């Protein structure tokens, strides 16, 4: 992994040493995505190291994106310590059920219905574990509580299922979002969601 770290470090230093307007062009030359992905595969000692390596590479090359994001979409379950976590569907134009909350100018509400299914052991859930980012890498991490049933927070008993909505205020033009599930000291889980009704 030392060889890879050296490549990443030199590439980051080179990119940050040039004017912001030219950084994108320099990054493409200094850091070829396919080359760095190949280095991850060649130098990682196990699958966990390779996953972490790919995550770092994609954060440099594709800010706001994750290598696994394209592989998981709505309806795809991912496991976290025996608990199955799955976004079921998305609403790209959420209307507030409270009547008090309205999106800011140029923004809209997008809601995602998520589901947790506990395994043999119980667990907890928290709506603020969820966030989204757009193609520009802007991150929207604070759900706006306007959709019922709202996910909220609580405990899940063994083999119990809980579902609820998490809602985000995002740019009105957004048609593609990367959904993230984050916990302290853990690698995030990612899903890609798209508004298929509009281009």
Arithmetic mean of pLDDT, 146-155? 89
Question: Which comes out higher in pLDDT, residue 59 or 79?
Answer: 79
Arithmetic mean of pLDDT, 113-135? 93
Arithmetic mean of pLDDT, 144-162? 89
Question: Which comes out higher in pLDDT, residue 37 or 177?
Answer: 177
Q: How confident is the model at residue 148 (pLDDT cuts 50, 70, 90)?
A: confident
Most confident of 92-96, 102-106, 137-141, 165-169: 165-169
pLDDT of residue 176: 95
pTM confidence score = 0.64
Question: Which comes out higher in pLDDT, residue 162 or 6?
Answer: 162
Q: Is the pLDDT of residue 154 over 70?
A: yes
**pLDDT, tens only, 23-54:** 444 344 445 656 776 777 788 777 666 666 76
Most confident of 13-17, 21-25, 65-69, 177-181: 177-181
Please report, to the nearest 10 degrees, the dihedral formed by the alpha carbons of residues 93, 107, 101, 182 taken in order.
80
Q: How confident is the model at residue 116 (pLDDT cuts 50, 70, 90)?
A: very high
Residue pair 88/163 in contact (Cβ under 8 Å)? The answer is yes
Q: What is the full DSSP assignment across the chain?
A: -HHHHHHHHHHHHHHHTS-HHHHHHHHHHH--HHHHHHHHHHH-SSHHHHHHHHHHHHHHHSTT--TTGGG--TT--EEETTEEEEEEEEESSPPPSSSS--PPTTEEEEEEEEEEE--SS-EEEEGGGEEEE-TT--EE------SSSB--EEEE-TT-EEEEEEEEEEETT--EEEEEE--TTSPPEEEEEE-TT--
Strands 107-117 and 123-126: unpaired
Most confident of 60-69, 89-98, 141-150, 171-180: 171-180
pLDDT of residue 61: 55
Q: In what order do the strands lie in the sheet with 78-80?
A: 78-80, 83-91, 107-117, 161-171
The residue extents of the domains of the chain are 2-61, 69-194
Q: Is the pLDDT of residue 9 over 60?
A: no
What is the C-alpha separation between 141 and 158, in angstroms, rounded? Answer: 28
pLDDT of residue 137: 86
Strands 130-133 and 161-171: unpaired
Query: What CATH architecture is 69-194?
Result: Sandwich (2.60)
Residue 190 CB-density burial (10 A; 0-12 exposed, 13-18 middle, 19+ buried): buried
Arithmetic mean of pLDDT, 161-171? 95
Q: Is the pLDDT of residue 65 over 80?
A: no
């Amino acid at each position: 992994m030392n060889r890879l770290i050296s490549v990443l470090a030199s590439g980051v230093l080179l990119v940050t040493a040039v004017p912001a307007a030219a950084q994108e062009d320099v990054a493409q030359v200094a850091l070829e995505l396919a080359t760095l992905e190949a280095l991850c595969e060649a130098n990682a000692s196990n699958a966990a190291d390779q996953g972490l390596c790919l995550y770092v590479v994609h954060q440099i090359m594709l800010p706001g994106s994750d290598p696994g994001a394209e592989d998981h979409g709505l309806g795809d379950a991912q496991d976290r310590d025996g608990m199955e976590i799955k976004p079921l569907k998305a609403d790209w134009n959420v209307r507030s059920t409270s009547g008090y909350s309205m999106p800011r100018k140029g923004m809209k509400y997008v809601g995602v219905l998520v589901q947790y299914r506990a395994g043999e052991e119980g667990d907890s859930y928290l709506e603020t574990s969820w966030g989204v980012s757009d193609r520009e890498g802007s991150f929207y991490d604070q759900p706006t509580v306007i959709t019922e049933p709202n996910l909220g927070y609580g405990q899940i008993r063994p083999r119990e299922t809980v579902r609820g909505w998490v809602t985000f205020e995002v740019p009105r033009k957004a048609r593609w979002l990367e959904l993230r599930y984050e916990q302290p000291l853990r690698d995030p889980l990612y899903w890609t969601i798209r508004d298929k009704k509009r281009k």
